Amino acid sequence: MSSPVLALSAGQIRRRPASFAGLGAALFLAMAAVTLFGSLVAAQVTAPAAVTRAAVSGPGLMPIAGGFGEIAVLVALFVVVNALGFTLRQQHRDLALLRTVAATPRQVRRVVRAQVAATTLLVAVPGGLTGHLAARAFLTALQRRGMAAPGLRIPGAPVPALVALAVALLVGLAATAVSVHRVTRPAPAVALTEGAGGPRRTGAPRLLAGVAVLAGGGVLLRLAASRPPGELDKAGQASLLGSLVLLVAVGLLGPAAARVLAPVLGAPARALAPRAGWLADANLRGYAARLASAVVPVALLVGLSGTMLVLTSTAEQVARATGATTSVTKESDIWLREMELGLLVCFAAVSTVNTLVALTADRRREFALLRLVGATRRQLLRMLSVEAALTTAIGVLLGTAVAAAASGAFSLAVTGSVVPVVPGAACAWVLLGAAVLTVPGIVGTGLWAVGGAAVESAGVERG
């Protein structure tokens, strides 16, 4: 790879540290997750036959690593794709400028690929080491509960970490090939115009992909709802996977959903806070892609957490009513789901904070221009507070819709009613957590972004 490509890639990373830090954190989590569950599989595969034949309670290490890791790894990779798409949107204008000075689409793609490869390699060692240590701790916890053979050991070979590195690179480069198409496909002048003002509408391929994924999620939920009452475990797995597929559809259809929901929720904001509410509503309406980037992580947090909490509560009530014990209601498996929920919440929380901090930091020039035309710092912070509240509300609505659809399908299968058992206190904590992550993240970064001399900040390029 030529040195100019490397220099351009390194320059973009230095100019946008917040965006690439978010991408790096997402890749770190993905590598740690793949290494964690890959190490568990390696422990089982490399163990002597006498060890693997030892009787254990629960499904065994391989089913745990497969079932537990399936959702966790998919969520981690979803977070990577979302973070990468956001990072590329942040530098859309710079990449379009390269096109105007005679850079070819191939050269632009090489610049972006170099950025992704460099970021992945930077987090490879800490991500692999963290996953290895987490695998050892998790295996010890399983052995303490009798869910894994005492003689199992996590191998010291770096094969799981190398597999995780390969997976992260493949996902990153594949997502890059799709995302960079918006810059390389149109003429340079058109790409530069879109970079300056943002895309005015969601492209047809993205809409079609979103609709197709949405339909796929609906099919999974229909399969979950059609399970007989005795197959409670399979209904739960299909519902949880269906919720993840629906959240992918939310990510694809996010800008379109934001354009619909922003005016609906913006009206009360304008009424309650006329000035700040008007500015916040105008910003959210005018930059649907930016709003979608902030909303999707919140929806991921609420959707996955809510689905798992409601599924567990519904299954426990069914078990109490029928006296049946399944893997959904066994104490050891409840502990497993709590661990899985904690891991998923960690992924979603990191994605939420990274995206919101980078998104708000990128608006420093915008805030400076508003100050030059008369807005005060206090007014801008009030505007950001309203934006944060609206962003949280839209993300919560989308996440709640996903959780309601998934848990409704599960409830229909096991109780005959689409109304599940909702643990009010636990769900309230999830909503509070979404607000705590979103509002301080936006307003706190805004305190920094609106600081400094307005004239100097207005002359500084975003990032």
Cβ–Cβ < 8 Å for 439, 388 = yes
**pTM to 2 decimal places:** 0.77
* The pLDDT of residue 105: 77
Tokens for 267?
A: 């009206």
Cβ–Cβ < 8 Å for 266, 230 = no
User: To the nearest whole number, what is the mean pLDDT of the chain?
Assistant: 80
Which SS3 state, helix, strand or coil, does residue 58 take? coil
Tokens for 359?
A: 């998104």
Region 236-260: mean pLDDT is 85
Per the model's pLDDT, the better-predicted residue between 245 and 6 turns out to be 245
Tokens 């600081």 locate to 451
Q: Of 73, 65, 69, which Cα lies nearest the Cα of 47?
A: 65
Which SS3 state, helix, strand or coil, does residue 302 take? helix
| AA identity, residue 341 | L
Is pLDDT of 40 > 60?
yes
| AA identity, residue 453 | A
Q: Which residues contact 175 (CB under 8 A, 6 or more apart)?
A: 80, 81, 84, 85
Q: Of 295, 282, 362, which Cα lies nearest the Cα of 88?
A: 362
Per the model's pLDDT, the better-predicted residue between 148 and 16 turns out to be 148
Is pLDDT of 2 > 60?
no
* The pLDDT of residue 463: 44
The DSSP code for 451 is -
Per the model's pLDDT, the better-predicted residue between 3 and 410 turns out to be 410
- In SS3 terms, 377-431 reads as HHHHHHHHHHHHHHHHHHHHHHHHHHHHHHHHHHHHHHHCCCCCCCCHHHHHHHH
pLDDT tens digits, 66-103: 877 777 777 777 778 777 777 777 777 777 777 777 67
Q: How many helices (H) and strands (E) does the chain have?
A: 18, 0
> Residue 462: pLDDT band by 50, 70, 90 thresholds?
very low
Which SS3 state, helix, strand or coil, does residue 160 take? helix
Cβ–Cβ < 8 Å for 215, 305 = no
* The pLDDT of residue 324: 59
CA 208, CA 185: separation in Å to the nearest integer?
18
Per the model's pLDDT, the better-predicted residue between 197 and 428 turns out to be 428
Tokens for 308?
A: 């798992």
